Amino acid sequence: MDHRTETFFDYRNLLFSIAYNMLGSVKDAEDIVQDTYLKWMEVQSDDVRNRKAYLVKIATNKCINYLNSARVKREKYIGVWLPEPLLNYDPDKSRVGIESYHALSFGILVLLEKLTPRERAIFLLKEIFAYDYSELAVIFDKTEDNCRQIFRRAKANLGKDTRRFKVDIKVHEKMLNNFLRAISDGSLDGLIELLKEDIVFFGDGGGRAIAINDQRLTAALKPVHGKENVSRMLLRTVPKLYLLPDYHQEVIIANGLPSVISYSGSTPVGLVSIEHDGEHISNIYVQTNLEKLRQFTKK
């Protein structure tokens, strides 16, 4: 392995993490990392003073370009678009590298959709990866003041929602278990009690349907609002999944938080993640697009 490849592998996990949190897609993030490697191999690396910053700059700019070109594609997406879940991603178990990856929760990734691609990049690097303004200035070819202004604008666009970055894992797991128990018991009152008045349910099916006996189960094309609407929809649809062959559920860690994944045999059919305020569930995210669940298929 030559020194250029070795340098790249030192930072590959970091590059994947940045790309995934920018794009919300495992495959696209892997493609960005591969493209970054190919670009890096064309560079006379001995002339590069800060190799980490240079690699991050390549990957980040590729993500920004991708998001700008993907905007039209997302506008044509059937129904609600949610990120692809990430489970224990390790691109190379034999080489941990200098940086480890960090995957933001579904709720935060959805929240970041409010930002422009450049705002998203600067916010992520500053808030999540702890880059200072001098480093950002090098990566984005801007002054430190410019980067500071973009970061402030991004934070202002997110508003009070930035509080959602702080999560107590034990409380989260307890809320998830209570949620699963209420659905399993078929308790409308119990479920309503768990949900915030203004809860929002987001379901991403990618326009696909799950065939159950003679019925076809599809995700709602728009978010569902309000605890009574969400409760009734869940209690109406979830029991239908129990009719799938060899249906079972597992609690896993996806995007850093306990989530529940449903299987029919070895095939994943849905992944549920929640957000809460410590007392009530505020958002529910359900991913049933099988293309985005392919990495969870059991071998």
CA distances in angstroms from 168 to 110, 114, 279, listed in the order given: 20, 25, 12
Res 289: pLDDT: 94
- Asked if 3-165 and 169-296 have one fold, the answer is no
The per-residue pLDDT for 17 is 93
Q: Which residues contact 70 (CB under 8 A, 6 or more apart)?
A: 23
Quick one: pLDDT at residue 162?
A: 59
HSE, CB side, 13 Å, CA atoms: give it for residue 243: 12
Q: Give per-residue burial for 155-179: e unless 16+ CB within 10 Å, then b.
A: eebbeeeeebeebeeeebeebbebb
Q: Are strands 209-212 and 267-276 parallel, antiparallel or unpaired?
A: unpaired
Identify which of 179, 142, 210 has the alpha carbon closest to the alpha carbon of residue 282.
179
pLDDT recorded at residue 215 = 79
Q: Measure the CA angle with vertex 200, ends 194 and 204; round to 5°.
A: 115
Mean pLDDT, 10 residues at a time, over the chain (299 residues)? Answer: 83 93 93 95 79 93 90 75 80 45 83 93 93 94 96 89 69 92 91 95 89 80 94 91 92 90 94 92 94 89
What fold is seen in the domain 169-296? Nuclear Transport Factor 2; Chain: A, (3.10.450)
Q: How far is CA 79 from CA 41, 126, 146, in A?
A: 40, 32, 36
Domain-wise residue ranges, the chain:
3-165, 169-296
**Is the domain covering 3-165 a CATH 1.10.287 domain?**
no
Place of tokens 């597992």: 250
pLDDT score at 48: 77
Joined tokens for residue 215: 């019925």
pLDDT value at position 99?
47
Q: State pTM to two decimals.
A: 0.88
Euclidean distance between CA atoms 146 and 293, whole angstroms: 39
Q: Please spell the DSSP secondary structure of 25-75, one letter per residue.
A: -HHHHHHHHHHHHHHHHTS-GGG-S-HHHHHHHHHHHHHHHHHHHHHHHHH
